[in-house]
Amino acid sequence: MDLHRHLDDELSSLRDRVLLLGGEAEQALERAMYALTERDSEVAREVLDHDDQVDHLEVEIDRQCIDIMALRQPAARDLRFVISVAKMAPVLERIADHACNIARTAIDLNNEPELKSVLDLSRMAEHALKMLRAALDAFTSNDAVTARQVIESDTEINDLYNHTFHRLIELMVTEPATATRDARLLFVAKHLERIGDYVTDICELTVYMAEAAFIKHSN
């Protein structure tokens, strides 16, 4: 019996599951933003309904990591991979949670008159999605260089957040009638900014996995 091949198979299955979770998080964000910008509450509700499956997947990944640690006792690059995955899964799940929060906001706002300022958030969301996709690609290919580039690009989403924040505050002052709804959008902007931070966490774990380097909090 080739025990090493079994370990390889298990690691490969674990990788597939994380990528599945990553895909779920990406889709949740994409659909939540669609629900917000296209005022489609049905899609928003689908995002919320689907979140149980995302949570379930995270638990499965947790269990699989524990099983591999207990039964296979991985070392070196295998250990770094399993540790990274174990830490990455809850981060991806949280990204999906933020997407759910955006979906809830969409349902609330879709019952109100349309706000043009919603469009400002699209750029942030596009950037967050671009970062998430690149982070998952870097993880798949064990690519620390790309992971570092994604981390660098988080400043762009922070800049977009600051810009959006000031614009929404300005709108709240100039158009007090929409202030409550603008405040909701401010939360959406914050969710997107946090997603950027989570993607940074994913990339830091990829750098650890690839190079055994701890870069978290290095700035």
**Contact positions toward another protein, by CB under 8 A?**
3-4, 7, 73-80, 212
- In Å, how far are 44, 107, 125, 212 from 191, measured between CA atoms? 15, 16, 10, 30
Phi-psi region of 39 (alpha: psi -120 to 50; beta: other; left: phi over 0): left
Residue by residue, DSSP assigns 26-50 as HHHHHHHHHHHHTT-HHHHHHHHHH
Provide the minimum distance between the beta carbon of 78 and another protein in the complex, in angstroms, as a whole number: 5
Q: Taking the complex as a whole, how short is the minimal distance between the CB of residue 209 and another protein, in angstroms?
A: 10
Q: Which is nearer to another protein, 75 or 177 (CB)?
A: 75
Angle, helices 118-140/3-37, rounded to nearest 10 degrees: 170
CB 21 within 8 A of CB 58: yes
73/155 with CB nearer another protein: 73
Nearest distance in Å: CB 86, another protein: 14
Cβ-based nearer residue to another protein, 6 or 166: 6
Q: Considering the complex, state which of residue 75 and residue 119 has its C-beta at the smaller distance from another protein.
A: 75
Q: Please report how close the Cβ of residue 166 comes to another protein at its closest, in angstroms.
A: 31
